[in-house]
Amino acid sequence: MASTGDTVENLPVEEARGGVTEIEQGARDSTDEMRHYLSSNFASLRDEIHKEITSRDVMLQKLEESVTRLSEDIAPVKDYVTAEMEEEDDDSSSSSSGSPEDSAPQDGDQETEEERNNRALNRCVDVMMSLTEIRKNNEEKTKIVRGFYEKIYEASPLTSLMLTFLERNRGVKVLVDCDSSYIHNLVKRLVSLDGAKCTGTFFRTFADFFECKVYLGGKAGKYSLWEGDKTVYKNHDPEVSLAQSLAQMVIHLIFKTRGCPYACNDEMHEKLYEKIEQEELQKKNTSGVCMDDLIKDALSMKTPLGREVSLISVVPAMLVKYGSKKGMSILQREIPFLTFFFMQRVIPKMRN
């Protein structure tokens, strides 16, 4: 492996205090409400599948029925989440003039909600920076990389929860090259999710599950690629790529299945997720279907493993790319089943 340069100095980190932050509580409340709303249907479906599955053919039939039922449930969930996002925006706009009576005291003064959130953000980002190595580091590069983590944390309660999970586990190493959009200066050779041996010049980011390392080409800019019969130009936003790779690593740490969002012995959710992935792949191959580049890129992976790992990590990446409200709206419009699966399976595990 190539040298990764200087290491970011470990920053002093404030110890986590009792209770949870407002942002964590917001993520917890949102997912609890959604799970409560859909729990009876989902639980009965799970019990029905367990009782009636006797062969692979029967299982696939039941999974098709489950996707149909989820489709019927998505519409009210979409309305609920939209209302929650609007309420969140209203709360943010009024936080500066809100009453501090529920704030925690600090050094004899009342700490406002905004101050608590900023303190939680800074604590989390400090930890992530202590886990990060920047090639040929300097003050400017440190500021740039810190900005990546701040954007991810502030994008959505779900993405802040993802970083909080990494803050508490502290088992991941992040390596960043701010001088390139690719990772070839950080690592020479890799095996892709599709099983192909590649050099670092093929990747702008990569999550190495075996080494528990995330590599990132931290230089933003445009790049070109060949799609069909034409050249297409796209933007490389390092914070979006970093969010996607960190999400893959978090899911790997939770489920221990190389980035797939189900446990190795959870056959029901494995088959359900495979069915969702196949539904999205069919939509991608249907002419006239609108689909974001992040989703298309994930579905363009050549193997089922590559598609499954890439696709589930699109959810936090989209929230960082577009922001909480717009990102969730696009997710529910373009990949509603996947979004529901992420809320039901991944978010509760991150919280725990």
What's the token pair of residue 58?
Answer: 């029967």
Determine how many CB atoms are found less than 10 A away from the CB of residue 19: 9
Distance, CA of 225 to CA of 235 (rounded, Å): 11
Which tops the pLDDT comparison, 352 or 7?
A: 352
Mean pLDDT check: name the lowest of 118-127, 185-194, 274-283, 285-294. 285-294
At residue 232, does pLDDT exceed 80? no
Beta partners for 170? Answer: none
Average pLDDT over residues 166-185: 95
Q: Give percent of the chain above pLDDT 90.
A: 59
Mean pLDDT check: name the lowest of 44-53, 211-220, 310-319. 44-53
Distance, CA of 346 to CA of 348 (rounded, Å): 6
At residue 56, does pLDDT exceed 80? no
Task: Look up residue 9 and give its amino acid.
Answer: E
From 254, 7, 15, select the one nearest 131 (Cα to Cα): 7
**Contact, 348 vs 35, CB < 8 A?**
yes
What are the φ and ψ backbone dihedral angles of 330, each rounded to 5 degrees?
-65, -40
pLDDT attached to residue 58: 58
278-330 per-position pLDDT tens digit: 999 999 888 778 899 999 999 999 999 999 999 999 999 999 999 999 999 99
Domains of the chain: 110-351 (3.40.390.10)
Average pLDDT over residues 73-96: 49
DSSP string, 150-194: HHHHHH-HHHHHHHHHHHHH---EEEEETT-SSSTTT-SEEE-TT
Q: Kindly report whether the global pTM for this prediction surpasses the value 0.85.
A: no
Instruction: Give, as one character, the DSSP assignment of residue 343.
Output: I
pLDDT attached to residue 304: 93
At residue 10, does pLDDT exceed 60? no
pLDDT attached to residue 103: 41
What's the token pair of residue 250?
Answer: 């978090």
Mean pLDDT check: name the lowest of 25-34, 94-103, 114-123, 252-261. 94-103
At residue 65, does pLDDT exceed 70? no
- Where residue 66 falls among pLDDT bands split at 50, 70, 90? low
Angle, helices 22-52 vs 113-130, to 10°: value is 70
At residue 252, does pLDDT exceed 60? yes
Distance, CA of 341 to CA of 332 (rounded, Å): 11
At residue 67, does pLDDT exceed 80? no
pLDDT attached to residue 24: 55
Average pLDDT over residues 136-158: 97
At residue 96, does pLDDT exceed 60? no
77-88 per-position pLDDT tens digit: 444 444 545 555
Distance, CA of 298 to CA of 195 (rounded, Å): 15
Burial code of 153-172, b = ≥16 C-beta within 10 A, e = fewer? bbbbbbbbbbbbbbbeeeeb
pLDDT attached to residue 254: 95
**Cα-based distances in Å from 126 to 19, 55, 172, 247, 343:** 20, 51, 14, 19, 27
Mean pLDDT check: name the lowest of 57-66, 134-143, 213-222, 240-249. 57-66
Distance, CA of 340 to CA of 345 (rounded, Å): 9
- Where residue 40 falls among pLDDT bands split at 50, 70, 90? low
Q: Which helix (H) or strand (E) holds 93?
A: helix 56-94
What's the token pair of residue 75?
Answer: 């519409």
Chain-wide mean pLDDT for the chain? 80
